[in-house]
Amino acid sequence: MTRRSLLLAAPASLLAAKPTVVRAGAQTNAWPIDPKDFDSLLSVLATVKDLGFEGFETGFINVRGQFARPEVANARLRKTGLRFFGVHIFLKAYDPQTAIAPWTLLQQVADGGAALGAERLILSGAPTAHPLALRAKVDGLNRIAKYCKGIGIGCAYHNHDVEFRYGATQMNGLLSGTDSNLHFVLDAGHAIEGGANVAEFFTNHWRRLDGIHLRDARSGTEVPLGEGEYDWTPLAKAIQASPWRGWLLAEEERLSGAKPREAAMRPARATIRRIFGV
C-alpha cells in the first residue's frame, strides 16, 4: 500500500498528528465593521487573534479609507500579529463587459492592498453562462492578475455556487482559460451547493489554490462550521495526502445579514483544529 493510500484510509483524528504548514485564517465578515472607523476593524482583528487564527481576509470597503495613508495603517495591521491573507472585492453589480469589478476599482484596490501589506487581491464575479461572456471574464482576470504580479501582490478568484453548476462549465472555463498568474480561493461551501466534490476538485487543482473558504449549512440554512451537514473529512484527507501549503479560512457569512461573531467563529476554529489538524 502506498503512503497516499494509507493517508486516504486514515481517520481524521490520526491526520491531525501529521506536521503541516497549512494555516488557519478568518474572513472578517462574521463581525460588524464600520468602514469609516479603522479601529473597528482592528478590534475585530484582536478577537481573530485571540481565537487562534493566524491570518485574516477582509472586504475592500473595510480598508479603502486607509489607501491615502497606507504606511500608518500597514504598521497598525502588522502590530496585530496576523498575516493579511487578502483583500476581497465583492460587489452587488459587476462590469457587464468582464463580469468582475471595473478596471479602475481593481487597480485601486490592488495598489492600496499591496501598500497595506495584503498578500493577494481576491475577486468575486458575476455568472458567465454564455461562452463569449466567459471569454471576456477570463481576459479580464488575466489582465488584473498580470497587473498584480507587476506590483508584487497575488491575485485569486473566489467562486460562488454558480461556477460549479451545470457540470462546472464556468469553473472549468476559468481554470483552463486563465494563466498561471491567477490563483483561486475555493469557497468549498458554495462549491458543495453547486454540486462539486470538493475533495476531488482539490486533488486535481491544489497547485492553483491559495486558500479554501470553509462554511457549513443544515437544510439550506447557514450554521457554524462543524454543526451542519457537510462532511469535511474527505477534503481533510486529500489535503493531508498533498504537499499543499495554503490557507483554510472560516467564513461565517449569513444570507440574512446577521453577524454571528464569536458565537460562530469560536466553534469554527475548533472544527478546523479537529478535522484538519491546523
Per-residue model confidence as pLDDT tens digits over 126-167: 999 999 999 999 999 999 999 999 999 999 999 999 999 999
Domains and CATH numbers, the chain: 3-276 (3.20.20.150)
- Confidence class for position 258, pLDDT limits 50, 70, 90: very high
Q: Render pLDDT for 79-124 as a digit per residue (tens, 0 to 9).
A: 999 999 999 999 999 999 999 999 999 999 999 999 999 999 999 9
CA distance 44 to 33: 8
pTM: 0.92
CA distance 174 to 141: 9
pLDDT at 6 over 90: no
> What residues contact residue 83 under an 8 Å CB cut-off, 6+ apart?
23, 25, 54, 55, 56, 119
Q: Is 36 exposed, middle or buried (0-12, 13-18, 19+ CB in 10 A)?
A: exposed
- Report helix, strand or coil for 95: coil
